[in-house]
A = this chain, B = another copy of it.
Amino acid sequence: MKVEIIAIGTEILLGDIINSNAQYLAKQLAMLGLDVYNQQVVGDNEERILGAFDEAFKRSDIVITTGGLGPTKDDMTKEVVAKYFKKKLIPHDESIKNIKDYFKSTGRVMPENNFKQGMFPQGSIVVKNDNGTAPGVIIEENNKIMIIMPGPPNEMKPMFKESIEPYLKNKTNTTLISKVVKIIGLGESLVAEKVQDLIDKQTNPTIAPYAKEGEVTLRISAKAEDEESALSLIKPIIEEISKRLGNNIYTIGEDSIEEVVSKILIDKNLTISTAESCTGGMIASRLVSYPGISEVFLEGAVTYSNEAKHNRIHVKQETLDNYGAVSYETAKEMAEGIAKTSGTDVSIVTTGIAGPGGGTEEKPIGLVYIGMYINGEVTVQKYIFKGNRNKVRNQATIMALDMVRRGLLKSDI
Contacts and interface: CB of A to CB of B under 8 A. Distances in A.
A90 interface: no
A384 interface: yes
Of the four ranges (under 10, 10 to 19, 20 to 34, 35 or more), the interface on chain A belongs to 35 or more
A315 interface: no
B393 A289 contact: yes
B299 A304 contact: yes
A113 interface: yes
A72 to B, nearest CB: 4
Contacts of A192: 71-73, 113
A39 interface: yes
A285 interface: yes
A30 B17 contact: no
Contacts of A10: 208
A188 interface: yes
16 contacts: A14-B27, A14-B178, A18-B19, A19-B22, A38-B41, A71-B188, A72-B196, A111-B187, A113-B189, A113-B192, A280-B289, A281-B302, A282-B285, A299-B303, A299-B304, A300-B301
Interface of A: 10-20, 22-30, 36-43, 45, 48, 51-52, 55, 59, 70-74, 102, 105-108, 111-114, 131-132, 152, 154, 158, 178, 187-190, 192-193, 196, 199-200, 208-213, 219, 221, 274, 276, 278-285, 287-289, 291, 293-294, 297-305, 307-308, 312, 342-343, 355-357, 364, 384-391, 393
